[in-house]
């Protein structure tokens, strides 16, 4: 028996049309960082019209047809939002470039994706220009906003044409005949940060973006609606800003774009000035914001919710926001391969204040569309009992089933990333409670295997960062003759703090089993970060192996 429902494709063009008409009065606001100058505002209706003009220009002037890739090397701003909508809606593929990657990785990614056009913010021209001679497929560069175009003109020997964004779209029709593409066709492409080996391409479909947007807007996730203003501090090149730009346009939630002003002081200023209701970023960004709010009185009361994801959020950071500034923090988990929404830590109904904390410090509960299981180290699967720890595997309609193999190549399904029956191996180790709450204890590559037992580096870090003198802490496994591996604790002290290793170890001893306590300690000026703001522990391990750290032993 067949259903009687209409078969309407779930596409980005439907999000574009809906947001620019039904929610035409919502705004995309871009922070300019100019004292005394109001932020630049465009309505969703204006963004929709400019997206149509951009699509016309890409097709008629630059010759973008079919599913060719159009890359963006841009900050979070309204022009980037127009590209987010226009490129996939016209049937091409949006490829967001991580501007914090090393130059050689950017070259590899652009060539692997065979990008034909790159849209770049003027302030990032000095980053792109030296790469142009090495970019085999790029034919056009479109420059958005102020910045010196001259470095682009001669760097490719005239092979690549340079255009101004506003000049390119000016005078073009403000409507476009958006094609009815297959909802399973590629819409967007993101590459992982490539911390081990070459970056890997994850291709999102129109269907996956649409369904993911619906989940982001649900009450079980972030609950975006037309009364909200969202501040996505997370970059638009980092898993499509966690899928929030498309979700916000779908829901009519206004967007406050920080552009390149991601430092604590301007973030606090834009929150006080523009009154967003929800914000999202990785822990390192919010640690800086918390320090700024502690030091300078700001009115941030408009925020109903602060979403922290991308890495484990220290409970001390959550409590600092709530106890000192009245901001409700929601913990979330995901990765590039999961679009990224994997789970969100809303406590269950009826949980009291103290009980709720035990849920909120977890990575959260899985939504209906994300299936999860725990793989046992020796084979088979573990129960959801809140105690049995294994590697998390997931599947669902917005979960990757392969990596992009390159133009004309078959999709890549490496065995260490995908199971034979099609589940994604996340590389995260943790437990799942009977009611579906995920608690990650570590990355599989970061867990400390000491004397046949596992020590969670994340647990040690969270406890250390609860000490009032500790700004940041990263714990890594180092070789040990007796136990195989033992933890090395690297600590960043707050300015003026005086806590010594004995004090920190004693503080830890009250919170974890004594056999887990680190014997090796080192003070560092800052924890190395990856291109998306996560702790880069491979750098610390190398520094230790090369003898670059001043390590003190505390037995």
183, 337, 459, 519: the active-site residue: 337
Q: How far apart are CA 291 and CA 472, in angstroms?
A: 12
Q: Which residues contact 184 (CB under 8 A, 6 or more apart)?
A: 205, 206, 207
DSSP states of 62-90 as a string?
A: S---TT-EEEEE--BSHHHHHHHHHHHHT
Active site residue 445: no
Helices 12-21/206-216 angle, 10° precision: 50
Q: How many C-beta atoms surround the C-beta of residue 483 within 10 A?
A: 16
Tokens representing 264? Answer: 């604590």
Active site residue 337: yes
Q: How far apart are CA 298 and CA 310, in angstroms?
A: 26
Q: How far apart are CA 203 and CA 411, in angstroms?
A: 10
Nearest to 276 by CA among 234, 309, 331, 228: 228
DSSP states of 330-342 as a string?
A: EEEE--GGG-S--
Strands (E), 398-516: 424-432, 437-443, 448-450, 453-455, 470-480, 484-493
Q: How far apart are CA 209 and CA 243, in angstroms?
A: 7
DSSP states of 216-284 as a string?
A: HTSTTTT---TT-EEEE-S-TTSHHHHTHHHHHHHHT-EEEE-BT--SHHHHHHHHHHH--SEEEE-HH
On the CB side of 140, how many CA atoms lie within 13 Å of its CA? Answer: 21
- Would you mind telling me the total number of residues written for the chain in this entry? 555
Q: How far apart are CA 491 and CA 550, in angstroms?
A: 12
For tokens 């809606």, name the residue: 89
Q: How far apart are CA 433 and CA 312, in angstroms?
A: 18
Active site residue 192: yes
Both ends of the chain: CA-CA distance in Å? 71
96, 192, 229, 244: the active-site residue: 192
Classify residue 469 by burial, with Cβ atoms within 10 Å: 0-12, 13-18, 19+: middle
220, 272, 357, 454: the active-site residue: 454
Q: How many C-beta atoms surround the C-beta of residue 78 within 10 A?
A: 21
Name the phi and psi angles at 306, rounded to 5: -120, 120
- 343-344 and 329-333 strand pairing: antiparallel
Nearest to 272 by CA among 222, 325, 314: 325
Active site residue 196: no
Please state whether the peptide bond connecting residue 340 to the residue before it is cis, i.e. omega within 30 degrees of 0: yes
371, 449, 503, 542: the active-site residue: 449
Query: Would you please indicate which residues are annotated as catalytic (active-site) residues?
Result: 192, 337, 449, 454
């Amino acid at each position: 028996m067949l259903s009687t429902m209409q078969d309407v494709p779930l596409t980005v063009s439907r999000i574009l049309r809906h947001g620019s008409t039904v929610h035409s009065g919502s705004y995309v606001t871009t922070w300019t960082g100019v004292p005394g100058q109001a932020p630049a505002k465009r309505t969703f209706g204006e963004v929709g019209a400019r997206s149509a003009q951009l699509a016309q220009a890409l097709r008629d002037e630059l010759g973008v047809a079919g599913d060719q890739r159009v890359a963006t090397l841009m900050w979070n701003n309204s022009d980037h939002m127009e590209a987010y909508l226009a490129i996939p809606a016209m049937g091409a593929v949006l490829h967001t470039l991580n501007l914090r990657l090393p130059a050689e990785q950017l070259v590899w990614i652009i060539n692997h994706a065979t990008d034909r056009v790159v849209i770049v913010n003027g302030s990032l021209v000095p980053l792109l220009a030296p790469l142009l001679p090495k970019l085999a497929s790029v034919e056009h560069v479109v420059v958005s906003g102020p910045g010196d175009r001259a470095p682009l003109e001669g760097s490719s020997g005239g092979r690549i044409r340079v255009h101004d964004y506003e000049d390119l779209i000016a005078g073009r029709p403000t409507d476009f005949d958006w094609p009815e593409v297959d909802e399973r066709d590629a819409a967007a492409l993101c590459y992982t940060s490539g911390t081990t080996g070459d970056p890997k391409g994850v291709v999102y479909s129109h269907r996956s973006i649409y369904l993911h947007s619906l989940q982001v807007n649900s009450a079980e996730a972030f609950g975006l609606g037309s009364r909200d203003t969202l501040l996505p501090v997370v970059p638009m090149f980092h898993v499509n800003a966690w899928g929030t730009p498309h979700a916000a346009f779908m829901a009519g939630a206004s967007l406050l774009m920080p552009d390149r002003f991601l430092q604590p002081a301007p973030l606090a200023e834009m929150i006080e000035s523009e009154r967003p209701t929800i914000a999202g970023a990785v822990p390192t960004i919010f640690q800086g914001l918390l320090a700024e709010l502690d030091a300078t009185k700001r009115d941030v009361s408009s925020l109903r919710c602060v979403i922290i994801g991308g890495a484990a959020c220290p409970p001390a950071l959550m409590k600092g926001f709530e106890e000192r500034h009245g901001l409700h923090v929601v913990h979330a988990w995901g990765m590039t391969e999961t679009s990224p929404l994997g789970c969100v830590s809303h406590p269950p109904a009826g949980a009291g204040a103290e009980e709720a904390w035990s849920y909120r410090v977890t990575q959260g509960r899985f939504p209906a569309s994300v299936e999860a299981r725990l793989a046992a180290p020796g084979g088979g699967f573990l129960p959801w009992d809140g105690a049995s720890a294994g590697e998390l595997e997931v599947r669902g309609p917005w979960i990757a089933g392969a990596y992009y193999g390159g133009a004309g190549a078959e999709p890549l399904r490496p065995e260490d990333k995908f199971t034979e029956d099609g589940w994604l191996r996340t590389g995260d180790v943790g437990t799942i409670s009977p009611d579906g709450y995920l608690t990650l204890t570590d990355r599989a590559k970061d867990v400390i295997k000491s004397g046949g037992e596992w020590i969670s580096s994340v647990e040690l870090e969270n406890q250390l960062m609860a000490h009032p003198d500790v700004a940041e802490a990263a714990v890594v496994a180092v070789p040990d003759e007796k136990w195989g591996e033992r933890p090395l604790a690297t600590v960043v002290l707050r300015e003026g703090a005086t806590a010594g290793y004995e004090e920190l170890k004693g503080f830890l001893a009250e919170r974890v089993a004594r056999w887990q306590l680190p014997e090796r300690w080192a003070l560092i000026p800052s924890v190395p970060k990856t291109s998306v703001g996560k702790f880069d522990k491979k750098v610390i391990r190398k520094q230790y192996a090369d003898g670059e750290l001043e390590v003190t032993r505390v037995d």
